Amino acid sequence: VGTAAAGAAAAGLGLSTSAGAIEATDATTARSGIGAGAVRADGGLKITGAARYAIEQQLDGLVHGVVVSSTTPSGRIVAVDTTAAEAAPGVIAVYTAANAPQIFQATTTDTGGAAVEAFTPLRDDLVRYNGMHLAFVVAGTFEEATEAAHLIRVDYEPDDFIIDLNDPNAQPEPMAGADAIWGDAAAAMATAAVTVEEEYSHPRNYSAPMEPHACIASWADDRMTVWEPSQWVGGGRAVIAEWMGLDLDQVQVLSPYVGGGFGSKIAPHAHVAMACAASRALNRPVKASLTRQQTFTGISGRPAARTTLKIGADAEGRIVAIEQTGANEAAIDESYMEPSNSVTKLMYAVPNIHSVHSVVPVNARRPGWMRAPMETMSIFALETAMDELSYKIGIDPVELRLRNWADRDPSDNTPWSTRQLREAYIAGAEAIGWSARNPEPRSMREGRELIGYGMAAGTYPILRTPAEARIVLLADGSAEVHSAGVDIGTGTYTILAQTAADILGIPSQRIRVRLGDTSLPRSPLAGGSQLANSLTDAVHTAAQSARDAVLALAASDPASPLRTGDARDLVFSDGMIRPARRLSGGYSIAELLQAMGRDRFEMVGGSFAADATEATRNAAAGSFAAMQGPNSNGVSKHSWIAQFVEVRVDEDFGTVRVKRMVAAVDSGLIYNPRLAESQWQGGMIMGIGQALLEEGVIDPRDGRTVNANLADYVVPVNADVPEITTISVGIPDTYSSTLGGKGVGEIGICGVAPAIGNAVFHATGRRIRHLPIKLEKLH
C-alpha cells in the first residue's frame, strides 16, 4: 500500500488525504445535501486499499506484543514460568502480574466513565474466565512474540465455576432497576380468555467484525498516542488516561477507519492497556493484535439470555396482562444487564404488567453491546409470543398488533414523538404479498419445500448527546468539517458533508470531512444508533454559526465589498451573500474571503449550551453523562420497524432458507437513502445470523468458546442472503434530532429473528423458541 494520496490518485477517484490527517470527499456525485443518495465518501479509499487502518500505521522502532490468555475458567494463578519465553529469540520483555508496570482501573460506563469492563489486566492472580488476558510478550517481530508466548507455562489453582446461566448453582441477582410493574397483572391474568406462556432464549453471540481487535500504542514526549479501531475515540481517550494515570490532554486516540465494530469496539479492551503500559515502559511504539480466537474468548459479545413470558388476552385478542421473568448472563465479578422487558413494556397497550429481570454471574468475559443491545431478548420473546397468541385466537398477526396499538408510551404515559408503525405494517404487508398467505401452518409448499410467511415488529430507542464540530471555510471555495466522531462503515464522512453543504451552499464534493481523532472537536460514540443524529445536530448548528459569522464579517470588514456596518442588511442564499434588497448576484464565501485578504475562516460550534464548561464538554465526549435517553423532554422517541419474511424449509432435511425479506422502517427523516438502506440491510442480514446460525458454543468442562473462529461461528454469507426490500415510512421527527432523523444503524436487526421464527412455524407447524433455529431443532 502506497500513501493514501497516491492510492486514491491511482484509482482516479479524486479522493484526497494529507499526511497524518485522513480526509474524504464525495468526488462522484454532484452537489448533494441532506436527502441525496450520495455514495460513501470513504468508499474509494477503502476498496483501493488506500485507507490506512489502525495497525497499518508505519512507526519507527515499532515492536510487537502478543497476549497470553488463561486456559482455565476460574481459580488463582500460582506461578507463571517465563524463563523460556524470555530467552527466546527477539524477545524484549515479558509482562505478568508479577512485574507489569502499573495499570489503574478505569471507570466503567455504568459508573460514570467510558470503560466497557472493569477488568484490568496484569493486576492480580485471580482467574475470572477462560481466555482472560494474563501475560504480554513483546518482541521484535510478531512471529517471535507469538513463538515466545507459547513457551509461557502457567500453574493454576483451580476453583469452582459456573458456565451456564441455567446452572442450578448459579446465583441470579435481581435487578430492581429493570422492573416494569403497573396495574394488577395477577388479577387481570385471571380474567384472560386466552393465554400464552412459554420460555424463550438466545445463546451467547459475538460481534465478529472483519477487522480483529488490535492497536498501536506509542509513548513519546510524555504523551500516549493510540491508533485503535474504535467506535468512540473520546471514550478511548478517557479510559486510556485512567489506565495510565495521565491527563486527558496527554492522550490522543486515532481511528479514521474501522473494519466493523457492531458494539465490540465501543471502548478499548484489556489488550490496549497492555500495549500502552508496555510502550511507556519500553519507550517505543508497541503493536498488539489479538488472534481471531482471542476476539471470541476475550472480547465482549451479546450475553446468553432467557425469559418466561405470559400474555393474557380477551377473546378479541386485546392484551389484559403480561407476566414475565428474565435473566441474562454477566461476568463473575462484573454486572451487565440487558433487560428482557425493554420492548415488552412499550410496544403494545398493556394495562397490567409484572415483569422482573435478573443478572446471572458466570465465569465469562463481561458481555457487551452487540447490534441492538438491550432490545434483542425482549423483541424475540414478545414478537414470537404475539404470533403464538394470534394462532390461539385465530386472527391475523398484523391485525392482533393493531388491536393492541399503544397511542402513548405505556411505560410512562408520554406521547410518542412520531410512530409510523401502522404505515410500516401496511407497506410491509403489501410489499411481501401478505394477503396471499394462507395462515394455516404447513399449508403452502412448492415441491419439497414448505413455504412460510412470518412478520414481527421491532423498535430501538433514540439516544442523543451534544457534540461539537469545526467548520473551516477556504478561499478556494472548498470547506472542511472536523469532528472526533468516527465512521465505522456507516457513512458519517458522507452525511456530515451533506449537512454542511446545505447550510454553506458549497457542493458536498468540495467539503472534506476529518473524523476519528481526539484532537478534533468533541463527539459521542457511534453506538446506540446515535452518532448520525448527534453529529448532524452539531454540524448543522456549527455551519449556521460559521455562516452568520461570515455575514458579520462581510458587513464589518473594511476590505469587504459588502461592508454595510450591519449584518442584518445582508442575506445568504444559494451560496451567495448579497444585500437583503437584491434578489441575485452577490459574493460567494470564497470571493468574500479573497476580497478581505483571508485564505481561511474557521470556527467551532455545535449543540452544547453556549455556557457549557470544558468539564461538561469533556464529560459528554468521554462518558454517558450528557446522553439523553428516549423518554426525555416529555416525549417518547424510538425508531420503528415492521419485518416480513418468506422462508423455505426443506421438508426432508429441515434446512431453512430465507427467500425474501421486507422491512418497512420509521427512522424519521433519512439523511442519505442509499446509506440508510445499506444500514438497514446490514442489520437484517445480521438478523439472519441471529435467527438461524450464530451460537457461541461454550465447553461445559472449562468454559472455553469452542467455535472461536469464523469457520465454526457461522455468520451469514452472500449465499444466505435473499432479495431484501426496505421501505422508508418515516416522517421528520424534530424531537429526535435537529434535522428530523431517527436511528438507522440498529433498527434493521430488530424483529428479524422472531419474523423468521414465525415464518418457520407457518411453514412447518414447529415453534422454535430457543435461538438459533438449526435444522436439528426441526426434527
Q: Which residues bind ligand MCN (CB under 6 A)?
A: 209, 260-263, 371, 488-492, 495, 526-533, 667-672, 675-676, 679, 682, 741-746
| Residue partners of 177: CB distance under 8 A and separation at least 6 | 337
* Chain Cα centroid distance, residue 765: 35
Among 369, 434, 460, 761, binds ligand MOS (CB under 6 A): 369
Out of ligand MOS, ligand MCN, none, what residue 743 binds, judged by CB under 5 to 8 A for its kind, is ligand MCN
Within 10 angstroms of residue 537's Cβ, the number of other Cβ atoms is: 23
Burial class (CB in 10 A: 0-12, 13-18, 19+), 219: buried
**Residue 421 phi, psi (nearest 5):** -75, -35
Contact present, 305 and 375 (Cβ < 8 Å): no
| Residue partners of 202: CB distance under 8 A and separation at least 6 | 302, 304, 305, 376, 377, 380, 690, 753, 770, 771, 772
Tell me the residue number closest to ligand MOS, measured at CB: 263
CA distances from 266 to 207, 242, 389, 494, 618 (A): 12, 16, 38, 21, 17
| Residue partners of 143: CB distance under 8 A and separation at least 6 | none
User: Binders of ligand MOS: how many residues, by CB under 6 A?
Assistant: 11
Nearest alpha carbon to residue 329 among 296, 371, 362, 378: 362
Out of ligand MOS, ligand MCN, none, what residue 686 binds, judged by CB under 5 to 8 A for its kind, is none
Q: What is the pattern of x (binds ligand MOS, CB under 6 A) and - over residues 231-260?
A: x-----------------------------
Distance of closest approach, residue 360 Cβ to ligand MCN, in angstroms: 24
Residue with cell 435473499: 722
List the catalytic residue out of 143, 375, 746, 776. Answer: 746
The C-alpha atoms of residue 773 and residue 687 are separated, in whole angstroms, by: 12
Out of ligand MOS, ligand MCN, none, what residue 328 binds, judged by CB under 5 to 8 A for its kind, is none
CA angle, residues 324, 308, 438, in degrees to nearest 5: 105
Stretch that binds ligand MOS, among 34-42, 87-95, 277-285, 370-378 (CB under 6 A): 370-378
Out of ligand MCN, ligand MOS, none, what residue 722 binds, judged by CB under 5 to 8 A for its kind, is none
The C-alpha atoms of residue 105 and residue 124 are separated, in whole angstroms, by: 12
CA angle, residues 32, 499, 515, in degrees to nearest 5: 110
The C-alpha atoms of residue 743 and residue 463 are separated, in whole angstroms, by: 8
Which residue, 119 or 671, has its beta carbon nearer to ligand MCN?
671
Beta strands 353-362 and 408-409 are unpaired
Distance of closest approach, residue 667 Cβ to ligand MCN, in angstroms: 5
Distance of closest approach, residue 542 Cβ to ligand MCN, in angstroms: 18
Which residue, 203 or 524, has its beta carbon nearer to ligand MOS?
524
DSSP labels for 392-441?
Answer: HHT--HHHHHHHTB-SEETTTTEEBS--THHHHHHHHHHHHTGGG---ST
| Residue partners of 268: CB distance under 8 A and separation at least 6 | 215, 226, 228, 230, 236, 239, 240
The C-alpha atoms of residue 572 and residue 568 are separated, in whole angstroms, by: 11
| Residue partners of 14: CB distance under 8 A and separation at least 6 | 8, 25, 27
Show the cell assigned to 748.
434493521
Which residue, 280 or 638, has its beta carbon nearer to ligand MCN?
638
Stretch that binds ligand MOS, among 311-319, 363-371, 679-687, 755-763 (CB under 6 A): 363-371
Is 746 catalytic? The answer is yes
Distance of closest approach, residue 439 Cβ to ligand MOS, in angstroms: 35
Out of ligand MOS, ligand MCN, none, what residue 668 binds, judged by CB under 5 to 8 A for its kind, is ligand MCN
Mapped onto helix, strand or coil, the DSSP state of residue 538 is helix
Out of ligand MCN, ligand MOS, none, what residue 654 binds, judged by CB under 5 to 8 A for its kind, is none
Distance of closest approach, residue 532 Cβ to ligand MOS, in angstroms: 12
Among 370, 511, 692, 763, binds ligand MOS (CB under 6 A): 370
Out of ligand MCN, ligand MOS, none, what residue 667 binds, judged by CB under 5 to 8 A for its kind, is ligand MCN
Distance of closest approach, residue 351 Cβ to ligand MOS, in angstroms: 32
Mapped onto helix, strand or coil, the DSSP state of residue 578 is strand
Which residue, 663 or 768, has its beta carbon nearer to ligand MCN?
663
Distance of closest approach, residue 745 Cβ to ligand MOS, in angstroms: 7
Which residue, 113 or 527, has its beta carbon nearer to ligand MCN?
527
Which residue, 183 or 260, has its beta carbon nearer to ligand MOS?
260
Q: Does 524 bind ligand MOS (CB under 6 A)?
A: no
Which residue, 323 or 537, has its beta carbon nearer to ligand MCN?
537
Which residue, 230 or 758, has its beta carbon nearer to ligand MCN?
230
The C-alpha atoms of residue 229 and residue 210 are separated, in whole angstroms, by: 11
Q: Does 491 bind ligand MOS (CB under 6 A)?
A: no
Out of ligand MOS, ligand MCN, none, what residue 533 binds, judged by CB under 5 to 8 A for its kind, is ligand MCN
Among 7, 234, 235, 263, binds ligand MOS (CB under 6 A): 263
Distance of closest approach, residue 348 Cβ to ligand MCN, in angstroms: 25
Residue 404, CB half-sphere, CA atoms under 13 Å: how many?
Answer: 33
- Name residues contacting ligand MOS, limited to 129-168 (CB under 6 A): none
The C-alpha atoms of residue 511 and residue 108 are separated, in whole angstroms, by: 37
Q: Does 373 bind ligand MOS (CB under 6 A)?
A: yes
Which residue, 485 or 527, has its beta carbon nearer to ligand MOS?
527
Stretch that binds ligand MOS, among 30-38, 106-114, 285-293, 368-376 (CB under 6 A): 368-376
Q: What is the pattern of x (binds ligand MOS, CB under 6 A) and - over residues 720-749?
A: --------------------------x---
Which residue, 429 or 503, has its beta carbon nearer to ligand MCN?
503
| Residue partners of 602: CB distance under 8 A and separation at least 6 | 470, 471, 472, 473, 546
Which residue, 640 or 761, has its beta carbon nearer to ligand MOS?
640
Among 44, 521, 527, 682, binds ligand MOS (CB under 6 A): 527
| Residue partners of 614: CB distance under 8 A and separation at least 6 | none
Residues designated as active site:
746
Binding stretches for ligand MOS (CB under 6 A): 231, 262-263, 266, 369-371, 373, 527-528, 746
